[in-house]
Amino acid sequence: MILGKHIFYTMKIPLYIYNTITKKKEKFIPLNPPHVGLYVCGPTVYGDAHLGHARAAITFDLLYRYLKHLEYKVRYVRNITDVGHLESDADEGEDKILKKARLEKLEPMELVQYYSNSYHQNMRQLNVLDPSIEPLASGHIIEQQQFVDKILNSGFAYEVNGSVYFDVKKYNEKYKYGVLSGRIIEDLISSTRELEGQDEKKNSYDFALWKKATSEHLMRWPSKWSEGFPGWHLECSTMSTKYLGEEFDIHGGGMDLLFPHHECEIAQSTAANGKSSVKYWMHNNMITIKGQKMGKSLGNAVTLDEFFSGSHPLIEKPFSPMTIRFFMLQAHYRSTLDFSNEALQSAEKGLERLFRGIDSIEKITPNNKSTVDIDKLEANCYQSINDDLNSPVLISHLFDGLKISNSLVDGKGAISSNDLNRLKQIYRVFVLDILGLKKEKQKTLQEGLTTELVNILLNIRQKAKQEKDFETSDHIRKTLTDLGIEIKDKKDGVEWEIISKDKLKSKE
Amino acid sequence: MILGKHIFYTMKIPLYIYNTITKKKEKFIPLNPPHVGLYVCGPTVYGDAHLGHARAAITFDLLYRYLKHLEYKVRYVRNITDVGHLESDADEGEDKILKKARLEKLEPMELVQYYSNSYHQNMRQLNVLDPSIEPLASGHIIEQQQFVDKILNSGFAYEVNGSVYFDVKKYNEKYKYGVLSGRIIEDLISSTRELEGQDEKKNSYDFALWKKATSEHLMRWPSKWSEGFPGWHLECSTMSTKYLGEEFDIHGGGMDLLFPHHECEIAQSTAANGKSSVKYWMHNNMITIKGQKMGKSLGNAVTLDEFFSGSHPLIEKPFSPMTIRFFMLQAHYRSTLDFSNEALQSAEKGLERLFRGIDSIEKITPNNKSTVDIDKLEANCYQSINDDLNSPVLISHLFDGLKISNSLVDGKGAISSNDLNRLKQIYRVFVLDILGLKKEKQKTLQEGLTTELVNILLNIRQKAKQEKDFETSDHIRKTLTDLGIEIKDKKDGVEWEIISKDKLKSKE
C-alpha cells in the first residue's frame, strides 16, 4: 500500500533539498525527528498579494504538504510583517505600513487587518494550507527587545541616540558575515550608499535592531533605549526562536529576501546565541511577467485578484487559482518563471487534461493480472519529489502514468485489482495531497452558458436586421436590456456587457 | 430613492439602542460623527465555536451592518483572547488556552492559530463581516503593562509577590463599583469563595491586573513586577483604548460577560483615566438548547460545525449557516433563544419562503400608478430596526410586504415602475445588506441570466414557428442542442433541460 510504502521509498530514495548556504543538494535529516521546524517569511501586509507572494506560499506549501505526507510532525511558522519594514533596506524611508495607512487614511492596524484578510483569502483560493502559527511582528515587541538585549550583551550591537544598530564589522571579526549571500564586507562598503541619517551608524552596512521613532511615527513602543520600533530583520530571528527554538530545520523565503534580510537574520541569531539557527535555507526564485521583472513602476504588478478576475489590462482572460498553482508547480521552485497569457492558457489546458485523465481511471476494469508497472510509476513520483521537490518532473511522470491508464481504458493491456487501487491512490496522494491541486469549484453548468446564449441571440438579431425584421431585432435588444445586458453596435460587430448589477442583485 | 431616504427616516425615527448601564433605550448619538467606535468581546480561542459565539457575532454584525448602511464610518474592533483567561473568574485555575494546549500536546500559539482559523471560517459561513481590527491579547503585552502602571499610579491597585491586583474597595470609595451589573460590594463579599492563593489579595473580590507566572506557566513575559501575564479583564480596556480612544461609542458582548468582565473593564478604565470609556453598553442574551443552558458537562454544547453537518446526536439533520443566522435574527437579541430541531426546521422553511417571495417580485409588471403603499413598508422597516435592532419585527414587516407583492403577482392591485424599483431595493437593502442573509448557493450574476436567456430564445423560436420561419426555429433548436440544452415541445409549451454535462466541461 502506498500509504506505508513512502517510508520505504524515502529510505531507499531519501529527500534531498538544496541548501542555499552550502549551495548543494543535501539529504534532509531533521534535528529532532519526527518533529520538523519550518519558518517561512510571510508578507508585509500593505497591499494586495501578487504572484511573488503566491510563489513563495505555494513553494513552501508543497514542502509542508510533502513533509506531512512523510508523517513528520511539522510546526510551520509563517510570519506577518506589520511593523518596521521601511521603504529602503538601509533603514531609511517611511514604514511601508504607515505610509499606506496614511494614504488610505486608516489606522495602521486597520490596514494590517484588511490586507491580512485579503492575503488569507487568496491563499485559500490557491489551496495553500494554513501554517501552524502565523505571528505578527507587532505582537512580539517584548520578545524583540529581549533579543536586542542579548545581542547588546554579546557585544555585537551599539546604541546611538536611542537607536540600536548591529555592528557588522565587529561581528565579521569573530564570525563571518555574508555566509549565505557570499557577499564580503569589502564589497558592502562600496555598494551601500550614504543616506541621510546613516551617520548615526558606525558603518553604512550596519543595520537597525531598534529605531527611535520620529514624532510622526505612529507605531511605537517604550523601551529602555527610546520610544521606537524594531528593525525589520529582527522579527524573524525573534519569532523563529520563540516558536521553533534556537536551532531549527528549515528556513524558507523568496530569493529577494536572501540579502540583506536572511543574511542579517543569520548574523543576529549567531550574535545572540553563538550559533546559526537554521540547518537548511531554501529560496524560491523570482517571477517575471512577459520577460520583465515585476514592479509597480513598470505597471505589471498584477495582483492575484486581477489574475482570477481577468481585470488587469495585461491579462487576456480570467485565470483560475488552480491554473496559477498548476502553472507554478510546472516549474521547479529554483527556476525563474515567466508569466504570459499563452503560458497560462497552456497550463489551464494541461490541468484540465490531468483531471480528465484522472477521471478516466475510474473507467478501467481490473483483470487478474497486470501488464503495467505501477511500482515504477510510484518510484518515479517519489524520486522526483525527493529530488529537491522537483514538481515539473513529478508532473511529467503523472502524465506518463495517464498514458498507461488511457491504454487500459482503451482495452490495451491489463491491470490487477490491487494495482488499480494503487494507481488511484498515486493520483490521489500526489495530485491532491502533495501538489495540492483540486478540481476548481466547478462553475455551474448554467454559468458557462451565458456568453453563448447571448451570442446566439445577437446573431439572430443581426440576421433579423439584415432582413429588415425590426420587430424581432428590437425585441431582442429590449429583452436583453431588461436583463441588464447592454448592447453596443460597433462598426465591426456587436459588443455587449452585463451592466446592471443592481438589477440582478435581488436574484442572487 | 431609498438610499437617500434613510437619512430622512433616521432623523424622523432615530436609532434607539438599549443601554445596559442606564437600563433604558437611548437615542444613539455618536461622540464624534460620522465616526463610530465599536468594541465587541470576541472569543477565547480554545475550542470550536458554538451557538453562543454565533449569537454575539451575529448581533453585532447586524449593528455593524446597519451603522454602515447609515453611512457612519465605523471602526469595529473585536478581540481574540489568547492569554490570561483562567478557568475560574476568581483569578485561579489554569489558563484556558494552556490547559487545552497541554491536552492537545500543542504549543499554545499553535492552538490559538487553529481555533482562530476555525472561528473565522464559521464566521464567514454565517456571513458575518470581518471587523476592522482583530487584536490579540498576547500581541499587546506592553500596552497592558502601561495600563497597569496607570492604575497603580492612580492608587487603585497594589502589588503583592510580583502580582498586581485591582483594589475594588478603594475604587468603590471614590467611584461606584457595580454600575453596570448593579451588584454592590457587600454582596460580593459574601458571594466570593475563599480560594487557595487568594490570601494574596486584600479582598476576595479584588481582581488580577498582572499575575506572576508559576513555573509551569508557558505564556509569560518580563515586567517590572515579575515574569507573568496580564489579567483577563485588562486586555479589553487596553485594546479598546489603543484603537478607539479613551472614550468611544459602543461596547458589546454576551450577557455572560456583563459580570465580572465588563464591570471590571469599567473599573479599570475609570481608575486609569478618571472616566468611564463607554457611552453605550449592549449585551446579547443567552442561548438555551431544548430549554437547557448550554454546557459541556450537559453534553449539549453543539458546535457550529456540528449544526452545519448535522453530526451531533442532538441534531436531527444538517442546518445551514443561513438557517442558523435567520433563526437568530427571528428573535430579538435581548431575548433568550431556545434551540430545537423543530424551531430550526421552521426557520429553514421561513427563510426559503422569504427568498421565494423576493424572487417573485421579479414577476411583477409595473403599471402607471400604485394602489400599494411602499412608503409605509419602508417606514415600518426602518422603525423596527431603529427600535433597538428589532429584527423579528423587521422580518415580520418584510413578510407583510411579500403579501403585497404576491397579490401584485396575482394581478390584484397595481404598482408604478418607480414603486416597484423601490420595493426591490427595500428587500435588497434590508435582507441582503442589513440582515446579512443570502441565498445559500450564491448564484453568480451570469448564472441568474441563463434561464431568462433560454426563455427569450424559446419565445423567438415559438414566434418563428407560428410565422412558419422554420429556418430560424430550427437554428435555435440546433444551437441550443449544441450547447447541451435539450428542448422538448409539449402540448402546453416548451420544456428544456441542461443535459450534456460532459460537453460543457471543457468550457468551465
Position A5 scores a pLDDT of 43
Q: Where are the beta strands (DSSP E) in A267-312?
A: 278-284, 287-289, 292-293
Size (chain B), residues: 508
Cβ distance A134 to B141 less than 8 Å, yes or no, reads no
A456·B476 Cβ contact <8 A: yes
Report CA-CA distances (Å) from B474 to A469, A476, B471. 18, 18, 5
Give me chain A's average pLDDT, please. Answer: 89
User: What phi, psi does B407 have (nearest 5°)?
Assistant: -70, -30
Q: Which of B17, B54, B5 has the alpha carbon at shortest distance from B377? A: B5
**Please, are residues B147 and B241 in contact by the beta-carbon 8 Å criterion?**
yes
Quickly state the pLDDT bin for A6 (edges 50, 70, 90). Answer: very low
Distance CA B141, CA B454 (A): 62
Which grid cell is A379? Answer: 518510484
CB contact under 8 A, A504 and B113: no
Angle at A381 between CA A376 and CA A383, to 5 degrees: 90
Of A354-363, A402-411, A436-445, B178-187, the least confident: A436-445
Give the range among A36-50, A181-195, A274-288, A490-504 with minimum mean pLDDT. A490-504
Minimal CA separation from B187 to chain A, in Å: 39
For residues A111 and A166, is the Cβ–Cβ distance under 8 A?
no
Contact call for B139 and A142, based on CB within 8 A: no
Chain A CB contacts of B506 under 8 Å are: 352
Asked whether the predicted pLDDT for residue B119 surpasses 60, the reply is yes
A107-147 pLDDT, tens digit per residue, is 899 999 999 999 999 999 999 999 999 999 999 999 999 99
Q: What is the pLDDT of residues A227-271, one digit of tens each?
A: 999 999 999 999 999 999 999 999 999 999 999 999 999 999 999
User: From CA A237, how far away is CA A268, in angstroms rounded?
Assistant: 7
The minimum CA-CA distance between A38 and chain B, rounded to whole Å, is 13
Q: How far apart are CA B7 and CA B14, in angstroms?
A: 9
B45 and B80 Cβ atoms separated by less than 8 Å:
yes
Q: Which residues of B touch A138 (CB under 8 A)?
A: 139
The alpha carbon of residue B185 is apart from the nearest alpha carbon of chain A, in Å, by 36
| Grid cell of B149 as nine digits | 502602571
* Nearest-by-Cβ selection for B504 from A109, A130, A448: A448
pLDDT of residue B463: 86
Are B453 and A453 within 8 A, CB to CB? Answer: yes
CA distance A185 to chain B (A): 36
User: Reduced to 3 states, what is the DSSP secondary structure of residue B412?
Assistant: coil
**CB-closest option in B133, B140, B460 to A110:** B133
Search chain A and give the residue with CA nearest B132: A110
Select from B117, B448, B463 the Cβ nearest to the Cβ of A507.
Answer: B448
Q: Which of B23, B270, B268, B83 is nearest to B166 (CA)?
A: B268
Band the pLDDT of A89: cuts 50, 70, 90: low
User: Closest residue of A to B441, CA-based?
Assistant: A508
8 Å CB contact of B449 and A485: yes
Measured between beta carbons, the chain B residues lying within 8 angstroms of A235 are: none
The amino acid sitting at A219 is M
The answer to whether B501 contacts A446, with C-beta atoms less than 8 Å apart, is no
Nearest-neighbour CA in chain A from B149: distance (Å):
13
Is A142 in contact with B222 (Cβ distance < 8 A)? yes
Nearest CA in chain B to A319: B508
Residue A139 vs residues A110, B136, B140: alpha-carbon distances, Å: 15, 8, 6
Q: Nearest-CA residue of chain A relative to B428?
A: A506
Check CB contact under 8 Å for A450 and B453. yes
Cell (9 digits) for B462:
415559438
At B132 the pLDDT is 97
Report the largest interatomic distance among the alpha carbons of chain A, rounded to a whole angstrom. Answer: 91
The answer to whether the Cβ–Cβ distance between B449 and A498 falls below 8 Å is yes
Query: Hey, are the CB atoms on B428 and A243 less than 8 Å from each other?
Result: no
Question: A478 to chain B nearest CA, in Å?
Answer: 11
Per-residue confidence (pLDDT) for residue B504, from 0 to 100: 38
Q: What is the mean pLDDT of residues A44-53?
A: 93
**CA–CA separation, B301 and B47 (whole Å):** 11
| Interface contact flag, A107 B243, Cβ < 8 Å | yes
For residue B448, give how far its alpha carbon lies from the nearest alpha carbon of chain A (Å): 7
C-alpha span between B360 and B406 (Å, rounded): 7
The region of weakest confidence among A100-104, A179-183, A340-344, B56-60 is A100-104
The pLDDT tens digits of the residues spanning B141-175 come to 999 999 999 999 999 999 999 999 999 999 999 99
Secondary structure of residue B78 in the 3-state scheme: strand
Task: Choose among B113, B432, B501: nearest Cβ to A445.
Answer: B501
What is the percent of chain A where pLDDT is above 70?
A: 90
pLDDT in tens, B406-457: 999 998 999 999 999 999 999 999 999 999 999 986 444 455 577 778 878 8
What ipTM does this complex have? Answer: 0.81
Per-residue pLDDT tens for B356-373?
Answer: 999 999 889 999 999 999
Give CA separation, B65 vs A264, A506, B71, B74, in Å: 46, 18, 10, 9
Q: What is the pLDDT of residues B211-257, one digit of tens each?
A: 999 988 889 999 999 999 999 999 999 999 999 999 999 999 999 99
Q: Does residue B103 surpass a pLDDT of 90?
A: no
| Band (A452; pLDDT cuts 50, 70, 90) | confident
Chain A positions touching B139 (Cβ under 8 A) are 136, 138-140
Nearest to B151 by CA among B160, B142, B159: B159
Q: How crowded is the C-beta side of A435, counted as CA atoms within 13 Å?
A: 36
Mean of pLDDT values over A275-292 = 93
Chain A nearest-CA distance from B188, in A, is 36
CB pair distance less than 8 Å for B450 and A449: yes
Alpha-carbon gap, residue A393 to A380, rounded angstroms: 9
B259: cell is 459580570
Q: Count interface pairs A-B at CB distance under 8 A.
A: 150
Q: How far apart are CA A203 and CA A196, in angstroms?
A: 13
So what's the pLDDT on residue A187? Answer: 75
Confidence of residue B507 (pLDDT cuts 50, 70, 90): very low
Nearest to A507 among B142, B243, B359 (CB): B359
Q: Could you tell me if residue B317 is left (phi over 0), alpha (psi between -120 and 50 degrees) or otherwise beta? A: beta
Percent of chain B topping pLDDT 70: 91
Which pLDDT tens digit goes with each residue over A159-180? 999 999 999 999 999 999 999 9
Calpha distance B462→A296 (Å, rounded): 55
Mutate to test the interface with A, among B434, B447, B482, B501 (most CBs of A within 10 A): B447
Tell me the C-alpha distance between B436 and B54, whole Å.
13
What confidence category does residue B10 fall into, taking pLDDT thresholds of 50, 70 and 90?
low
B133 closest CB neighbour out of A113, A130, A505: A113
The crossing angle, in degrees rounded to 10, of helices B417-427 and B2-12 is 70
Percent of chain A whose pLDDT exceeds 90: 68
Q: Do B449 and A113 touch (CB under 8 A)?
A: no
Average pLDDT, stretch A268-277?
94
Q: How far is the first Cα of chain A from the last one, in angstroms, to the nearest whole number?
A: 47
Q: Looking at beta carbons, which residues of chain B come within 8 Å of A322? A: none
**Ranges in chain A annotated CATH 3.40.50.620:** 31-284
Residues 6+ apart with CB under 8 A from B353: B399
Instruction: Among B75, B445, B508, select the one facing A442 at the smallest CB separation.
Output: B508
Q: How far apart are CA B217 and CA B227, in angstroms?
A: 10
User: A498 and B456 in contact by Cβ < 8 A?
Assistant: no
Residue A29 has pLDDT above 70, yes or no: yes
Q: Which residue has the higher pLDDT, A480 or A1?
A: A480
Q: Report chain A residues whose CB lies below 8 A from the CB of B359.
A: 506-507
Which residue's entry shows cell 409539449? B490
Nearest chain B residue to A137 by CA distance is B139
Cα–Cα dist B124/A120, whole Å: 13
Distances (CA, A) of B405 to A374, A482, A490, B5, B382: 64, 20, 40, 21, 19
Grid cell of A336 as nine digits: 525563474
* CB environment B21-35: b (16+ within 10 A), e (fewer): beeeeeebebeeeee
pLDDT at A446: 53
Kindly list the residues from chain A whose CB atom is less than 8 angstroms away from the CB atom of residue B112.
133
Q: Among residues B472, B164, B160, which one has the least CA distance to residue A457? A: B472
pLDDT at A496: 73
Set of chain B residues whose Cβ sits within 8 Å of the Cβ of A352: 506
Say yes or no to pLDDT of A49 above 90.
yes
Would the CB atoms of B448 and A508 count as touching at under 8 Å?
A: yes
User: A84-93, A97-106, B198-207: lowest mean pLDDT where?
Assistant: A84-93
Shortest distance, CA B40 to any CA of chain A (angstroms): 16
Q: Which of B147, B219, B449 to mutate to test the interface with A (most CBs of A within 10 A)?
A: B449
Least confidently predicted of A323-337, B3-17, B399-413: B3-17
What superfamily would CATH give domain B31-284? HUPs (3.40.50.620)
* Range picked from A37-41, A194-198, B291-295 for highest mean pLDDT: A37-41
Q: Using the beta-carbon criterion (under 8 Å), do B432 and A146 form an inter-chain contact?
A: no
Per-residue pLDDT reduced to its tens digit, A334-384: 999 999 999 999 999 999 999 999 999 988 999 999 999 999 999 999 999
Does the beta-carbon distance from A476 to B460 stay under 8 Å?
yes
Residue located via cell numbers 433563544: B337
Using an 8 Å Cβ cutoff, are B330 and B395 in contact?
yes
Answer yes or no: is pLDDT of B333 > 90.
yes
The per-residue pLDDT for range B246-255, each reduced to its tens digit, is 999 999 999 9
Residues of chain A with C-beta less than 8 angstroms from the C-beta of B463: 472
- Contact list in A for residue B504 (CB cut-off 8 A) is 445, 448-449
- Inform me whether the pLDDT recorded for B505 exceeds 80: no
pLDDT tops 70 at residue A392: yes
> Which residues of chain B does A508 touch, with a Cβ-Cβ cutoff of 8 Å?
432, 438-439, 442-445, 448
